[in-house]
Chains A and B, each alone.
Chain A
Amino acid sequence: MKGRKLLIENAHIPGITTFDVYQKNGGYRALDKALKSMSPNDVVEEVKKSGLRGRGGAGFPTGMKWSFLAKPEGVPRYLVCNADESEPGTFKDRYLMEHIPHLLIEGMILSSYALGANLSFIYIRGEFMWILEILEKAIAEAYSKGYLGKNIKGSGYDLDLRVVPGGGAYICGEETALIESLEGKRGNPRIKPPFPAVKGLWGCPTVVNNVESIAAVVPIVNEGGDAYAAIGIGRSTGTKLISACGNVARPGVYEIDLGVSVEEFIYGDDYCRGMANGKKLKACVPGGSSVPILPHYLVTKTATGEDRLMTYESLADGGFATGSMLGSGGFIVFDEDQCIVRNTWNFARFYAHESCGQCSPCREGTSWMEKVLYRLEHGNGNIRDIDLLAEINKKIEGNTICPLGDAAAWPVAAAINHFREEFEWHVTNREEAVSRNYGLSKEPVTA
């Protein structure tokens, strides 16, 4: 099973968005199998065995998340698919839903069956209107073929599936904000506890999973949890969609076995095929805009000199001092011509714009950072601003209602940590900094 794509293998087949072609190519096999020969609990057990970790960014084991779901008598349970993919640099779910929508729908039916949900939702980013149409078409087909609705394929299991578009806010990708939005309210994250597994959608137990996590349930049921767990290294099992972008020769969505080395991913022929235009690697954000940036000397090797691998553990090796995170798999590569200050400002601008404004550290802090970074980038900064930024993000981190505050603080902290020289250069060479870029940063001298 190693080296084979489990999710997007068939994505290129013409007409795969239709039910018939999808089914001809092995689609809905997992669902038939589960409905015929597996109890809901068997499916949960397979997912637990597979070691699948949430593909939305946090990497929490999906099976464990499912087992936390409260199951009080007489109260409905809900499964919600988080398709509000809006992190800068991440576009893997979009690819999956656009090219092979039935995989998500099969995964949704399987997962809903496992959790005992009779009404499930796909909450899709409002900007993905054309994908909403693709999904709705696919859902209509599934209904007409008897895979959705009452008594699915004679199993006695009922499920309705709805797609609901968001209104264009990144914050609605946070699970409790998503639930609020789904309920028709302003998308403000809720104060936790209670967690959605106990009190979620309309006060009922709810599981919110990423698109890729739900899609991965299909191969897990097809091939068995153990076979899935055999791929990857340690606690990073299975395959992962990585959306590579930036200055690589061949950007795009790749399905990799977790454990591929970062070096191979950037330079390998099967993947990004090296840097574009023969430029040098300057930095890399390996998991979407919210994870710490890595300078070139920490991208392919960890601080201890080991090869860095595309796993949850290896990318986080060194903590926030010299490591980063796998996150959602938004792999952004920067070449020597890119300005880190400008990029940090760009990210900060995004988070300032997307903060819901509920809690004070995030509302005020993200905008403050954005303004200071804007000044630095535009030649109006002071040396003290650099320390100020570091201070502000320490006051945001960990003090907010939801992880958006952390997501805004980490990239700024890491950029200053690794590229302080470049920030200082923006202050000491204001005019030059506006007209040209700093280039590669120096590698720190190690003993």
Chain B
Amino acid sequence: MVKVTIDDIEIEVEVGTTILNAARKIGGDIVPPAMCYYSKLEVSGGKCRTCIVEVAAGSSADPRPMPKLVASCSTPVADGMIVKNKTSERVKENRAGVVEFLLINHPLDCPVCDQAGECHLQDLGYEHGKAKTRYEEERRTFDPIDIGDKIKLHMNRCILCYRCVNTAEQLTEQRVHGVMNRGEHAEISTYIEKAIDNDFSGNVIDVCPVGALTDKTFRFKSRVWFLKPMEGERNCEKCSGKAVLWMFGNEIYRVTARKDQYGEVEDIDGKTAWICNDCRFEKKDVNDWNVTGPRVIDRHSVISQGKYETKMNTKIKRIN
């Protein structure tokens, strides 16, 4: 075990833990935002640079500060390390810079984006973004494409976090999509718009932090904040069968995996509860599911403000 101090809070974590995961152990507002890191994936992180933090002391053995800001998702802690996140002006300034970079080519089409209300980039922009853009150039654009009959790719909104690439690498036999081209022209794509077709391909929608990959069976059906998230279960041969049903009245509009406060698919019984395409796209009848109760959305976004859950929670608490 090693001791690390993050924003003046000390915590003991296992050797090899990253700064970000140590911060998540502390929890609260000292946790750096992460757009590309995804703890449930074997490979992820290091790319978006929103989780950068200042290391004021490398370790008790070598207390020199690290000269550069480091990506907290990929930097392991050392005993006696002192990390500054929200207490560092340098971090704030540079993180705002990263957010600006992520937004210069983003279409900001939130009013017509299905991800609005549960979008990490929206939250990030709200917290760290500037009210005005300094970008006077033309934004780069791509045409939206269908990758298969269930998934839509809006490359304009993509921040190239590589999560969907890593997800496909991990969950499917053979990855059929990836990043093509370089630099500003880099894009997520299948070669010649081939379909992504396998039982777990729908999970790329769940890992996408922005509205680049969306569920075609749900597109433009409703804003997420009008729906009530319910926990549902079904016997599924392919996956855990434990999902969140986004309902309006008795109708299921959308099915997603169960996600935690960091937007990551939850572990259920020690396994990450990815859901299969059957559960996600085909089972939209309430009779397909055993609805077990309301789902608490543990993120500060517009959907978690739904009074319905809050009331339910206080009621449950009172009963308990």
**How long is the Cα–Cα vector from A359 to B45 in the complex, in angstroms?**
10
**B46 surroundings in chain A (CB, below 8 A):** 191, 359, 401
Q: Do A354 and B182 touch (CB < 8 A)?
A: yes
**A428 close to chain B: CB less than 8 A:** no
B317 to chain A, nearest CB (A): 41
**A267 surroundings in chain B (CB, below 8 A):** none
Closest residue of chain B to A406, judged by CB? B68
Indicate which residue in A186, A191, A388 contacts B45 across the interface (CB closer than 8 Å). Answer: A191
Q: Do B101 and A355 touch (CB < 8 A)?
A: no
Q: Do A364 and B181 touch (CB < 8 A)?
A: no
Could you tell me the dominant secondary structure of chain A's interface residues?
Answer: helix
**A400 close to chain B: CB less than 8 A:** yes
Q: Do B181 and A357 touch (CB < 8 A)?
A: yes
Q: Do A395 and B47 touch (CB < 8 A)?
A: no
**How long is the Cα–Cα vector from A358 to B188 in the complex, in angstroms?**
12
Q: What 1/0 flags go to A42-60 for Cβ under 8 Å of B? A: 0000000000000000000
Given the known inter-chain contacts A358-B160, A398-B69, please indicate yes or no for A364 contacting B105, CB distance below 8 A.
yes
**A25 close to chain B: CB less than 8 A:** no
Indicate which residue in A358, A360, A372, A394 contacts B101 across the interface (CB closer than 8 Å). Answer: A360
**A310 surroundings in chain B (CB, below 8 A):** none
**B135 close to chain A: CB less than 8 A:** yes
Q: Do B97 and A395 touch (CB < 8 A)?
A: yes
Q: Do A352 and B183 touch (CB < 8 A)?
A: yes
Closest residue of chain A to B67, judged by CB? A398
Most buried by A among B98, B104, B179, B183: B183
Closest residue of chain A to B52, judged by CB? A399
**B181 surroundings in chain A (CB, below 8 A):** 357
Q: Do A359 and B134 touch (CB < 8 A)?
A: no
**B100 surroundings in chain A (CB, below 8 A):** 395
**A366 close to chain B: CB less than 8 A:** yes
**A375 surroundings in chain B (CB, below 8 A):** 137
Q: Do B97 and A361 touch (CB < 8 A)?
A: yes
A356-384 residues at the B interface, CB under 8 angstroms: 356-368, 371-372, 375
Closest residue of chain B to A362, judged by CB? B183
A324-379 residues at the B interface, CB under 8 angstroms: 352-368, 371-372, 375
Q: Do B160 and A395 touch (CB < 8 A)?
A: no
Given the known inter-chain contacts A360-B49, A388-B134, A399-B69, please indicate yes or no for A169 contacting B97, CB distance below 8 A.
no
Q: Do B101 and A361 touch (CB < 8 A)?
A: yes
Q: Which range holds the interface residue count of chain B?
A: 35 or more
Closest residue of chain A to B178, judged by CB? A186
**How long is the Cα–Cα vector from A74 to B94 in the complex, in angstroms?**
44
Closest residue of chain A to B184, judged by CB? A367
**B104 surroundings in chain A (CB, below 8 A):** 364, 368
Given the known inter-chain contacts A191-B71, A358-B160, please indicate yes or no for A399 contacting B183, CB distance below 8 A.
no
**B67 surroundings in chain A (CB, below 8 A):** 398
B192 to chain A, nearest CB (A): 18
**How long is the Cα–Cα vector from A186 to B52 in the complex, in angstroms?**
25
Q: Do B98 and A361 touch (CB < 8 A)?
A: yes
**B272 close to chain A: CB less than 8 A:** no
**B178 surroundings in chain A (CB, below 8 A):** 186
A306 to chain B, nearest CB (A): 27
**How long is the Cα–Cα vector from A365 to B48 in the complex, in angstroms?**
13
Q: Do A169 and B49 touch (CB < 8 A)?
A: no
Other 13 A-B pairs with CB < 8 A, given A353-B183, A364-B104:
A191-B45, A355-B184, A356-B183, A357-B179, A357-B186, A359-B47, A360-B50, A360-B101, A363-B186, A368-B137, A398-B69, A399-B68, A399-B94
| 3 A-B pairs closest in CB distance | A357-B186, A395-B97, A191-B46
Q: List 19 A-B contacts (CB under 8 A).
A: A186-B178, A352-B184, A354-B183, A356-B182, A356-B183, A357-B160, A357-B185, A358-B186, A359-B46, A359-B47, A359-B48, A360-B160, A361-B97, A362-B183, A368-B101, A368-B137, A394-B97, A395-B94, A400-B49
Residues on A lying within 8 angstroms of B by beta carbon are: 169, 171, 186, 191, 193, 352-368, 371-372, 375, 388, 394-395, 398-401
Residues on B lying within 8 angstroms of A by beta carbon are: 45-50, 52, 67-69, 71, 74, 76, 94, 97-98, 100-102, 104-105, 134-135, 137, 159-160, 162, 178-179, 181-186
